[in-house]
Amino acid sequence: MNTIVSARGVNITRGKNHILHDLTFDLQPGSITGIIGPSGSGKTTLMRAIVGVQKYEGDLEVLGHQAGAKDNRGRIGYMTQAASVYEGLTVRENLTYFSQLTGEKNDTEDTIEFLGLTQQRDQKVSTLSGGQRNRVSLGAALVGKPALLVLDEPTVGLDPLTRENIWSHLRSLDTSILISSHVMDEAARCDDILLLRDGQLLAHSSPADLLVAADAPNLDAAFLNLIRKAQ
Ligand SMILES: Nc1ncnc2c1ncn2[C@@H]1O[C@H](COP(=O)(O)OP(=O)(O)OP(=O)(O)O)[C@@H](O)[C@H]1O
Ligand SMILES: [Mg+2]
């Protein structure tokens, strides 16, 4: 497989709204790709299509199959933007459940540790703070050791130390990762960036090349320049 995701002329309409416009790009295996863009630009919609829960037009291949194909079941770990784990189960029970879904021998204890949830491991999710719940959701996406991880704003609301732990863990994984974020220092950690605005792909390059293309001193300024130029 040469690409992990290959999009050719992908268009998505939700309700009456044309959300994503003619997206074409390839993502390489083993890389961390950031999907960056203002609120409402289509990041979640694109992720939904890639994991196979969103209809699209055009050609979208994921892990060598059409997006949504049965063959990809259990091969993609998806962390949705809103925490989506079982409130009535404990941290450990949730992670065990999600790892069993994929049939993978689980590394639940390691995952609990790097998420910083050791003390809460036997607490029900309903009794956790918002950031702790998000971390359980991230754990649920990770435990099946998927070939592709799709993480929709996984570090939102987390402190710098926890964010650092999560990033170093993601870096240590032997898997391809697609991650959306609003935080520019996170964009800078990605190998590759897809910059979206109003459902259009404004740029696809490494963070370093983006700085050059936008003639900007930092990524914040680069995004503003590119987004303004497109208006
Ligand atoms: N079910 C729906 N029906 C119609 N329009 C929708 C639907 N879901 C989302 N949209 C619209 O699609 C656009 C893209 O939404 P999406 O959730 O993909 O954005 P996003 O980039 O993830 O935003 P955020 O950063 O706020 O999470 C928005 O304008 C939104 O209003
Ligand atoms: Mg979103």
Q: Per-residue confidence of the chain (231 residues) as pLDDT tens digits?
A: 689 999 999 999 999 999 999 999 999 999 999 999 999 999 999 999 999 999 999 999 999 999 999 999 889 999 998 878 999 999 999 999 988 877 666 678 888 998 899 999 999 999 999 889 999 999 999 888 899 999 999 988 888 888 888 898 899 888 999 999 888 888 999 999 999 999 999 999 999 999 999 999 999 999 989 888 877
**Domain boundaries of the chain, sorted by first residue:** 80-146
Q: Please give the distance, rounded to the nearest whole angstrom, from the Cα atom of residue 14 to the centre of ligand 1.
A: 8
**Closest CA to ligand 1's atom 18:** 42
Pocket test for ligand 1, best of 23, 43, 78, 197 (most atoms within 8 A of CB): 43
**pLDDT computed for residue 1 by the predictor:** 60
- The helix/strand/coil state of 175 is coil
Ordered DSSP codes for 51-96: HT-S--EEEEEETTEETT-GGGTTTEEEE-SS--S-TTSBHHHHHH
Ligand nearest to the CA of 42: 1
- 16 close to ligand 1 (CB < 6 Angstrom): no
- The helix/strand/coil state of 215 is coil
